[in-house]
Amino acid sequence: MLTDTHTHLYYETDADKLAVLMGRCFEQGITRLFLPNVDMASVTKIDLMVQRYPENCFAMAGLHPCEVKEDYEDLLDQICESMADREICAIGEIGIDLYWDKSTLEHQKAAFREQINWAKDMELPIVIHCREAFDEVFEVLEAEQDEQLSGIFHCFTGNIDQAHRAIGMGFYLGIGGVVTYKNSGLDEVLKQVPLSSIVLETDSPYLAPVPFRGKPNESSYLVHVARKVAEIYGRDQEEIAAITTENSKRIFGK
């Protein structure tokens, strides 16, 4: 059994096409998919997918840092209200992104802190989006850190020091298609990270692994990530699947 801990497969709104995508997942043994929220529009899409596949799909709630604009407080209120009658497994994806827009940094920090506090209040993990912002993300996490704070650094592409820092704070590293890229350097980082500290993901439809790099990603491609991780650790792919799925169960409680 493989677990995709981070997929936006719900972007496919055609039920027949989605059924095909899910069928390909099941053929590859990918039976657990965790769906990160990005804005209010994605709430309904995620809920529809969870309703169609209640045994396989699990919802998160959160405001993506790239969606943090001047009206972010209103959006946070709406997302918070949306959780009242929904089963949520994590607060995410949340964090800081300085690749696209550095001018919103203070808003992003404030939104990140508020959503971390949601997670603490609800006793849920957080799923962190961090792009060109490790220092800023760690600054917020260290200020908010306590025994309740845990989760995943989604699409981890940092160096070994950043990996150890995240793990030392009780976080897992989300490993996706980037690990299959020739010059990513992520393979060397993982050689110094225990298997007990990683989970697998696709971030579908983004960051497709080799041999699909540059094309739309999908959750069934997780097998290529698992194959590369198995190669790095010198383990069987089945063992990688079992260990990373158990790690995901510890994080999400399901």
DSSP-based three-state secondary structure for 93: strand
Determine phi and psi for 175, rounding to 5 degrees. -110, 125
Cα 215 from Cα 70, distance rounded (Å): 33
pLDDT in tens, 73-112: 999 999 999 999 999 999 999 999 999 999 999 999 999 9
CB neighbour list of residue 81: distance below 8 Å, 6 or more residues apart:
none
Domains of the chain: 2-252 (3.20.20.140)
**pTM score of the predicted model:** 0.97
Mean per-residue pLDDT pooled into runs of 10, the chain (254 residues): 98 96 98 98 97 98 96 96 96 96 96 98 98 98 94 98 97 98 96 98 98 97 98 98 98 96
The burial of 203, by beta-carbon neighbours within 10 Å (0-12 exposed, 13-18 middle, 19 or more buried), is given as: buried
Contact predicate 198/171, CB 8 Å: no
On the CB side of 181, CA atoms within 13 Å amount to: 13
